[in-house]
Amino acid sequence: MNRFRRSFAAIAAAVCAAVAGAAHAQEGGVYIAGDGFSFAKAASQALSTNPAGQRFFLLVLPPETRALKANASGRLAATRKRVTSSGGVLMVCQRDIDSGKVDLGALVPGVVAVRGWPPPGSTALPPGERYFADEDRSVLPAANEGLRRLRTTCTD
């Protein structure tokens, strides 16, 4: 009986790992518009790299955030719509909202604000935790690498 329990536990662990691996495999990468990459270029790269329907993340830094504004030009708005229609999640840094560089109220609905790493000594993100207590985990990458890249880019 003990051997049966160990075998069952091993099989259950393998199934859980396979399911978790499949979830990560169905999630695309993180792409960044800004710092030398236009919104159109970053969006084009993301769209060409991810199959339609695969969730991916497009972080947009100022001044490229103009593409996320409700009054964006027709071409930028069309590109933005292609990104979201293809599974892309549009993101901005919370630090840019806090500093006034980005007005969240002027952006199209659905743009996600991402926090950077907290300052040293802060307890806002307890050791070993990936998410802040009040964050919506469903809109952030499941993969550690993607979440780490977003947080690092959005840190002051």
Which of the four pLDDT bands, split at 50, 70 and 90, describes residue 73?
Answer: very high
pLDDT of residue 15: 37
Residues 6+ apart with CB under 8 A from 4: none
| Lowest mean pLDDT segment, chosen from 3-12, 83-92, 106-115 | 3-12
Q: pLDDT tens for residues 115-144?
A: 999 998 899 998 889 999 999 999 999 999
Work out the number of other CB atoms within 10 angstroms of the CB of residue 140: 20
Q: Is residue 18 part of a domain?
A: no
Q: pLDDT tens for residues 14-31?
A: 333 333 344 445 799 999
Work out how many domains the chain is built from and give that number: 1
Question: In CATH, what number is assigned to the domain containing residue 57?
Answer: 3.40.1260.10
Does residue 109 have a cis bond before it (omega within 30 degrees)?
no
Which of the four pLDDT bands, split at 50, 70 and 90, describes residue 76?
Answer: very high
Task: Give the three-state DSSP class for 142.
Answer: coil
Q: Are 32 and 42 in contact (CB under 8 A)?
A: yes
Work out the number of other CB atoms within 10 angstroms of the CB of residue 32: 20
Q: Is residue 65 part of a domain?
A: yes
Angle made by CA atoms 105, 111, 114, in degrees to the nearest 5: 105
Q: Is residue 64 part of a domain?
A: yes
Q: Is the pLDDT of residue 9 over 50?
A: no
Q: What residues make up the domain containing 104?
A: 28-153
Round to whole Å and give the CA distance between 156 and 148: 14
